[in-house]
């Protein structure tokens, strides 16, 4: 009986030692299996914050410096049965911008200004205007070119990712423009001396509207210039007044509430409100 007790006791002792060893081994294995937060796997895990959930920043969007106005050999056959005159080209350009239904109106106003600057050869001012609007031009070509297979290349994207396309003739004069038609040796667009005198008389009698003070903040120096003008006078008059008051000769474009003011419109036709500050973008 004593021998049996001794055997059982040893067996129990060995069993406890074995269990203790097994427990130590299991704990060691568990420690090795626990992932380290600083491990390669943890560092390689993708973040939940993705750029796909946020607007693309300007620096991440394709953008190339603007190129010079393209060469256009012919008046567009889909719009012109015969080559355009210069006056018809001007009317078609105006109609193009007035009939845009997609995109934002303020961005189309920028595109119009950019096209005029490119046409005049002022590439630097056109680039400044485009950059100020937050738009990008992935190819450097504001005009769309059609390639074989119907593929298009060119155009401008605004800061919302919307595409703005213009045909080449909006920026460049077609090479096949013809002279204005004449009647009995006189240009039909030429005015007689009597007509000119009559227009001068009407212009003298035309009221300039209520006089208001316009405060313009110059982009090149950050200072304000205040001028007086009539509400029925055009924005182009405001440009000259600010240039004279500031003593500068550079081109000026006025921006208000994110929109470029068109120079051929009178002040009362713009969205500007008396007492508000106009941003004067100085180029050159």
Most confident of 16-25, 39-48, 135-144, 265-274: 135-144
Q: What CATH number does residue 221 fall under?
A: 3.10.20.90
- Among 178, 193, 223, where does a domain finish? 178
- Is residue 150 scored above 90 in pLDDT? no
Percentage of the chain lying above the pLDDT 70 cut: 69
CA distances from 146 to 62, 81, 155 (A): 20, 21, 11
Instruction: Note whether 89 and 159 are same-domain residues.
Output: yes
Tokens of 244: 């004279």
Per-residue confidence (pLDDT) for residue 137, from 0 to 100: 96
Q: Which pLDDT band holds residue 189 (cuts at 50, 70, 90)?
A: low
DSSP state of 59: G
Instruction: Note whether 151 and 249 are same-domain residues.
Output: no
The pTM score is: 0.50
- Is residue 153 scored above 50 in pLDDT? yes
Q: Phi then psi for 215, rounded to 5 degrees? A: -100, 120
Q: Which of 5-9, 76-80, 256-260, 279-283 has the lowest mean pLDDT?
A: 5-9
Instruction: Note whether 174 and 275 are same-domain residues.
Output: no
Per-residue confidence (pLDDT) for residue 181, from 0 to 100: 81
Residue 98 falls within a domain, yes or no?
A: yes
**Element (H or E) spanning 20, and its range?**
helix 2-33
Per-residue confidence (pLDDT) for residue 152, from 0 to 100: 79
Number of separate domains in the chain: 2
Average pLDDT of the segment spanning 18-41:
43
Identify the domain containing residue 233 by its residue range: 211-283
Average pLDDT of the segment spanning 232-248:
91
Residue 196 falls within a domain, yes or no?
A: no
Average pLDDT of the segment spanning 119-145:
93
Asked if residues 209 and 268 have their Cβ atoms less than 8 Å apart, the reply is: yes
Instruction: Note whether 159 and 70 are same-domain residues.
Output: yes
């Amino acid at each position: 009986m004593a021998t049996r007790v001794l055997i059982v006791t040893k067996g129990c002792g060995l069993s406890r030692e074995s269990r203790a060893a097994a427990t130590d081994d299991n704990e060691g294995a568990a420690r090795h299996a626990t992932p380290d937060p600083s491990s390669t796997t943890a560092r390689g895990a993708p973040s939940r914050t993705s750029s796909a959930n946020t607007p693309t920043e300007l620096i991440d969007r394709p953008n190339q410096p603007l190129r010079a106005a393209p060469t256009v050999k012919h008046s567009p056959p889909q719009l012109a049965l015969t080559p355009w005159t210069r006056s018809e080209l001007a009317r078609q350009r105006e109609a193009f911008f007035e009939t845009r239904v997609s995109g934002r109106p303020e961005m189309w106003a920028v595109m119009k200004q950019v096209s005029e600057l490119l046409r005049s050869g002022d590439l630097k001012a056109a680039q400044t205007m485009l950059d100020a609007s937050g738009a990008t031009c992935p190819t450097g070509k504001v005009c769309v070119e059609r390639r074989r297979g119907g593929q298009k290349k060119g155009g401008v994207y605004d800061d919302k990712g919307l595409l703005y396309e213009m045909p080449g003739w909006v920026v460049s004069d077609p090479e096949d423009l013809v002279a204005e038609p004449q009647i009995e040796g006189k240009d039909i667009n030429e005015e007689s001396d009597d007509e000119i005198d009559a227009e001068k008389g009407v212009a003298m009698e035309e009221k300039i509207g209520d006089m208001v003070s316009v405060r313009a903040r110059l982009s090149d120096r950050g200072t304000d210039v205040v001028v007086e003008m009539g509400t029925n006078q055009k924005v182009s008059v405001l440009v000259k007044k600010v240039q004279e008051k500031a003593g500068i000769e550079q081109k000026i474009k006025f921006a208000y509430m994110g929109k470029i003011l068109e120079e051929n419109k009178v002040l009362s036709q713009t969205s500007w409100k008396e007492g508000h500050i106009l941003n004067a973008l100085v180029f050159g």
